[in-house]
Amino acid sequence: MWFVTGLAPALSDGTFEVRAAGAVGDGVTKDTAAIQKAIETAAAAGGGLVRFSPGRYLSGTIHLKSRVTLQLDEGATLLGSPDRADYAKLDFHGLILAKGQEHIGLQGKGVIDGQGRLLAEQTMRLLAEGKLRDTEPGNRPYASVGERPVLLNFHQCQSVTVRDLTLRESSCWVQEYRECTGLLIENLKVRTMAAITNDGIDIDSCSKVIVRGCDIDSEDDGICLKSGPRPCEDVLIENCRIRSSCNALKLGTASSKGFRNITCRDLVIHDTYLSGIALEIVDGGRMENVNISRVRMTTTNNPLFIRLGHRNTKGSVGTIQGVTLSDITAEIPNRKKSEMNRFPPHWRHLCTTLITGSITGLPGHPVRGVTLRNIAITYGGIGDKPARDHLLLENLTRIPECAGDYPESKMFGILPAWGLYCRHAEDLTMENVTLKVSGKDYRAAVIADDVRNLTLKGLKVLSAGREPVVVLHNVKNASLLDCKPPANAVRFLDQRGTCEAIRSE
């Protein structure tokens, strides 16, 4: 493992009670000053535990100091003030802030509740009244991300541990860790549907990170890695359960410095309305050595979205190279929109079911070195006839590139493949991939367009419609080995455009 981290050490007499510092804990009296006094006293003593015994502690912003750990006992709740004036700003306004601190932590069986719905509503009113500057004018559902407080915001800190707590109802992202080194996030329960942009965990430009044993239910992305000032690297995410109204596990959208050495394993993803796994480089940066394995997805709208785009139109195009996904099962059912009661009301008009898994680069900028191994995907099927808004097989060249668009799995529309759509890729390998439709779908199962060095080994397609099972368009150097089409397939392989060196055994 990359690092060893521990909680800030408690001295022999290093436990500091917030009630002893004057906190009331009645949920009505603001205890901000008393909590901060306990933190400062602990820091002055060389570190220790600041303890919250059972009670409800109402607070605005508190600043965590080096070698201090906040311990919330079972029955203790730290309540975020519903008054936005009570919050200070670091990168974001937040309830617990720390910058440049080391050996800090939060622990215990207690709860941190941001009262986010009340706080977001007040922020919206202040924006409408012109008392706050809206950094996203005209984009009102988002209010202004920078103006709505998060629960935790740690910047440029070292040796950070956050474990065992329940974090609920932030008015914006729940946790924002930026440029931190040595980060352990363990056994957290996150429940946040209070407002839009309620990400469960955001890790931005951090290194030597472990996220383990977390249970996340979030309105926005569940676990999201970003890279702004520096790469996000040496990250392990394991044994987590994720539900999201957007993407469950996401690398991006912010990706200017990229991602290196990312390992994700033993994840359960459920009831997610965009992608189970989304890997995105759209702002420059490099993605390399990403390994995701042993993932079970149930009731998601899209299993996989790998996207190399060019949203930073004045900068260089980034790269994606060296991504392996293995031992993954995904169920993508055709849900009725009336069943999507967890989807945020202001987003329901954007909701699309049955989004095809895709791996897409740009002309001259392919996604390189992606391997899919031991993957099984079951789709619901969109029927045996095309609809007016479907992109058809005969119009492959008309599928939009969307180079500068915000990356999202539904960005291309309803694609002419139901299983996997791959465009602008090199060194793409699919080994022991099984695709099935539980209903009917007229489309091809797999489309590869402008792909070099393609290997399909042990591909099993268990369902077929009226179109060929595998379509290759402008593909050079492809090997199809031990692939098994369904018995009722009209045709297994269809070559279009300019295809060269295609071998089928």
Q: In the predicted model, what is the mean pLDDT of the chain?
A: 92
351: left (phi > 0), else alpha (psi -120 to 50), else beta?
A: beta
Indicate the range of 108-117, 147-156, 344-353, 356-365 predicted with least confidence.
Answer: 344-353
- Give the HSE-up count for residue 86: Cα atoms under 13 Å, Cβ half-sphere: 20
Yes or no: say if 240 and 216 are a contact pair by the CB < 8 Å rule. yes
Alpha-carbon distances, residue 325 vs 71, 119, 238, 303 (angstroms):
38, 40, 14, 11
For residue 144, what pLDDT is reported? Answer: 72
Highest mean pLDDT among 115-129, 221-235, 333-347: 221-235
End-to-end CA distance of the chain: 42
Name every residue whose Cβ is closer than 8 Å to that of residue 500 and which is 6 or more positions away in sequence. 475, 476, 477
Indicate the range of 126-140, 156-170, 209-223, 288-302 predicted with least confidence.
Answer: 126-140
Rounded CA-CA distance 80/58 in Å is: 6
Yes or no: say if 300 and 278 are a contact pair by the CB < 8 Å rule. no
3-state secondary structure of 277: strand
Alpha-carbon distances, residue 403 vs 60, 311, 318, 391 (angstroms):
42, 7, 12, 18
Of 117 and 377, which is predicted with more confidence? Answer: 377
Yes or no: say if 202 and 228 are a contact pair by the CB < 8 Å rule. no
For residue 478, what pLDDT is reported? Answer: 98
Rounded CA-CA distance 177/188 in Å is: 15
For residue 143, what pLDDT is reported? Answer: 57
User: Taking 80 as the threshold, does the pLDDT of residue 378 lie above it?
Assistant: yes
User: Taking 70 as the threshold, does the pLDDT of residue 314 lie above it?
Assistant: yes
Question: pTM of the entire structure?
Answer: 0.94
User: Taking 70 as the threshold, does the pLDDT of residue 349 lie above it?
Assistant: no
Question: Could you identify the residue written with the tokens 């390994």?
Answer: 291
Rounded CA-CA distance 91/181 in Å is: 17
pLDDT band of 123, cuts 50, 70, 90: confident
For residue 135, what pLDDT is reported? Answer: 65
Looking at 23-114, which runs of residues are DSSP E strands? 26-30, 48-52, 55-59, 62-63, 68-72, 76-80, 88-89, 93-99, 102-107, 111-113
For residue 99, what pLDDT is reported? Answer: 98
Rounded CA-CA distance 152/183 in Å is: 13
Alpha-carbon distances, residue 182 vs 36, 70, 401 (angstroms):
25, 18, 39
CB atoms within 10 A of CB 263: 15
Q: What is the DSSP letter of 41?
A: H
For residue 10, what pLDDT is reported? Answer: 38
Rounded CA-CA distance 96/74 in Å is: 19
Structure confidence by residue, pLDDT tens digits, 258-273: 999 999 999 999 999 8
User: Taking 90 as the threshold, does the pLDDT of residue 29 lie above it?
Assistant: yes
pLDDT band of 484, cuts 50, 70, 90: confident
Tell which residue, 181, 298, 305, has the closest CA to residue 233. 181
pLDDT band of 142, cuts 50, 70, 90: low
The H or E element containing residue 123 is: helix 116-128
Calculated CA dihedral for residues 132, 134, 140, 146, nearest 10 degrees: -90
Rounded CA-CA distance 298/48 in Å is: 43
User: Taking 50 as the threshold, does the pLDDT of residue 18 lie above it?
Assistant: yes
Yes or no: say if 223 and 185 are a contact pair by the CB < 8 Å rule. no
3-state secondary structure of 20: coil
Q: What is the DSSP letter of 102?
A: E
User: Taking 60 as the threshold, does the pLDDT of residue 367 lie above it?
Assistant: yes
User: Taking 90 as the threshold, does the pLDDT of residue 187 lie above it?
Assistant: yes
